[in-house]
Amino acid sequence: MQPRLNRFNSRVIAGCALLLLNVSGVASFCAPALAQATAPALANRFLGTIIAVAPGSITVKTDAGVERKVTVPDGIRLQRVVPGAKDLTSAATIQFSDLAVGDRVLVRIAPEPTTDPVTAISIVAIPQADLAQKQQKDREEWQRNGVGGLVKNVDAGTGIITITSGAGPTQKTITLRTSPATILRRYTSDSVDFNQAKPAPIETIQVGDQLRARGTKNADGLELAADEVVSGSFRNISGTISSIDAAAMTLTLKDLATKQTVTVHVGADAQMRKLPENMAKMLASMTNPAAGAGSDQAGAPRTGGNAARPPYQPGAPVQGVSAPAGQPGQGQPGAGQGSMGNGRRGGDLQTMISRAPAIHLSDLQKGEAVMLVSTQGTSEVTAVTLLAGVEPLLQAPASTQNMLLSNWNMSSGGAEAAQ
């Protein structure tokens, strides 16, 4: 019986490795199969992206972030599969000249030597163009059939998750129904990169987590049979910058919620945007009409009343904000509706924020107000996304600020828009 089990595990491991070749996701059954695999079984293959091609060799950056130099002898099996393929039944034979920078590859290598350059036994590739096309299709699927918000309740026994979506008067409660077939993933603690989200059981989802899901909605959009769920636990912070250390790539601010001073590390991967003043005021009026409609600054009445600003029209361009060049970034779900507000307005809110100009730490100043999503921590955190130019938004309740950050972070803003 044991040899049969080993053969079965080998087939499952091989199938999971092929699924891992696709950025769009891995079924949850892969996690235990890969976890039970022996070290030798995994040591002879790796997954990654080609970053260089030379005569007879390629350089691959693995999914673990390690660069491997690979010798590709003449005559070895080189195959191409379409994104989403679960086996090699329909794989096409290709030539070495067909491999290109940006292609995803599954490389099998000879047991010896263990140091680079290693020698490939076989390579399975997904061309970059095919992968980009599938990712665009996936983004559109998340947009059409996606919802998002903050977790309100989780019932692991029934598989039902309740989330709140939107803010202020547009807030609504959505019920997600999961099943054993639902793909559940969880963001790592320091990233909202969908590609890095790991399979995780429903028990890991906690009240207050940020969550997005896609599936089949009912008529009013308040229930969804979930095909896929991604969640994460992050900290939302709003405050005024008290100091900036450009050399250390940090800033300090006083968290308005906890009244505690926090040191924020701003790494190269942090996604940073600054809202133009008119956009900030518009968002403030949309999420908290009492704050946005009656004043331009805290406590200062707006001159000219409501007649000075035309009513918000879904889909209308925002002055001073241009559309981002090219397509949204790769991999992250939900470049559209469902997170904030109702219907199309939610998508426009997210798009508005993601189109705000990108900034760097050097663009920030002492005394400037910021809102950010960060890793968990008390006195020191690492910024995942940061939004400046938010003075009008700080008049909104903390729950509204959190929802605004959550929707941007988990949807069309943040990592996705800036990549």
* Residue range 329-372, pLDDT digits in tens: 333 433 333 333 333 344 445 566 778 899 999 999 999 999 98
Confidence band for 262, pLDDT divided at 50, 70 and 90: very high
Confidence label for 378 from pLDDT (cuts 50, 70 and 90): confident
The domain locations on the chain are 2-126, 144-419
pTM for the structure as a whole? 0.61
Helix (H), strand (E) at residue 215 = strand 210-217
Region class of 145: left (phi > 0), else alpha (psi between -120 and 50), else beta:
alpha
Residue type, 23: V
Distance between CA 193 and CA 175 in Å, rounded?
A: 25
Let me know if 211 is exposed, middle or buried by CB neighbors in 10 A (0-12, 13-18, 19+).
buried
137 versus 8: the higher-pLDDT residue is 137
Task: Write the pLDDT tens digit of every residue in 90-133.
Answer: 899 999 999 999 999 999 998 876 678 999 999 999 999 998 89
Looking at per-residue pLDDT, the higher value among 84 and 203 belongs to: 203
CB 219 within 8 A of CB 342: no
**What band does 196 get if pLDDT is binned at 50, 70 and 90?**
confident
Choices 3.40.640.10, 2.40.50.140, 3.40.50.150, 2.60.40.10: CATH for 2-126: 2.40.50.140
pLDDT band at 284 (very low <50, low <70, confident <90, very high): confident
